[in-house]
Amino acid sequence: MALRTPTTSLRRLELSDADVLLELRLRNRDFLAPFEPARPAAYFTRAAQRQELRDGLAGWDAGRDFTFGIFEGDELIGRLRLTQVARGAFQNAILGYFVDEDHCGRGHATAAVRLALDFAFDSARLHRVQAAVMPRNTPSIRVLEKSGFRAEGFAPRYLCIDGIWEDHRLYAVTAEDHRAAEGG
């Protein structure tokens, strides 16, 4: 399955992406800090990025999680992950993403999320994808709304973001919702 639109594509991140991923991380360090767990300085090194990529590849091979790069042409401009894949009666994964600050506002995140839903429901045979977003993160809420997610609830002090237990809104989309939205 080719995960691409005319502007945006997704592909699995490989160990060979470590250097460009590190550059992306360094460039966006201040931009992403308010939206992510607190990162120690050691995270912003080639060794740590290679380790994260290795963990991602092992997770992919085990069917536990799927880590994609978001690309504009050949340029890595973000990352998207489907993590904590649950099978059995749940068939669920958790979605997370970011886009390079200089590439924001051009529809890349929305395109990437829609492609990831195609992958989740058609290739990974999942039934539900969920996401959690802080109420003040308007751009991310728009991305989820535009991708067919429904608000399902409010979770006080849900995730520790930049050192603070932050309230989140929970969103989800099921395979049925996605197929109906895609006209199938």
Ligand X SMILES: CC(C)(COP(=O)(O)OP(=O)(O)OC[C@H]1O[C@@H](n2cnc3c(N)ncnc32)[C@H](O)[C@@H]1OP(=O)(O)O)[C@@H](O)C(=O)NCCC(=O)NCCS
Residues engaged in binding ligand X (CB under 6 A) = 32, 35, 97-99, 104-110, 133, 137-140, 142-143
- Would you say 99 and 142 are in contact if contact means Cβ atoms under 8 Å apart? no
Residue with Cβ nearer ligand X (35 or 60): 35
Residue with Cβ nearer ligand X (169 or 174): 169
Cα separations (Å) of 10 from 112, 151, 177? 7, 25, 22
Residue with Cβ nearer ligand X (85 or 168): 168
Residue with Cβ nearer ligand X (9 or 110): 110
Q: State the minimum distance, in angstroms, from the CB of residue 59 to ligand X.
A: 19
Q: State the minimum distance, in angstroms, from the CB of residue 123 to ligand X.
A: 22
Rounded Cα gap, residues 154 and 66, in angstroms = 26
Q: State the minimum distance, in angstroms, from the CB of residue 111 to ligand X.
A: 7
Q: In what order do the strands lie in the sheet with 66-72?
A: 9-12, 66-72, 75-86, 92-99, 128-133, 164-174, 150-161
What CA dihedral angle connects 80, 121, 110 and 147, to 10 degrees?
-140
Residue with Cβ nearer ligand X (18 or 143): 143
Rounded Cα gap, residues 45 and 25, in angstroms = 9
Q: State the minimum distance, in angstroms, from the CB of residue 157 to ligand X.
A: 16
Q: State the minimum distance, in angstroms, from the CB of residue 178 to ligand X.
A: 17
Give the contacts of 51 (CB within 8 A, at least 6 positions apart). none
Cα angle value 111/115/44 (rounded, 5°)? 75
Residue with Cβ nearer ligand X (53 or 77): 77
Q: State the minimum distance, in angstroms, from the CB of residue 88 to ligand X.
A: 26
What CA dihedral angle connects 117, 119, 124 and 125, to 10 degrees?
60
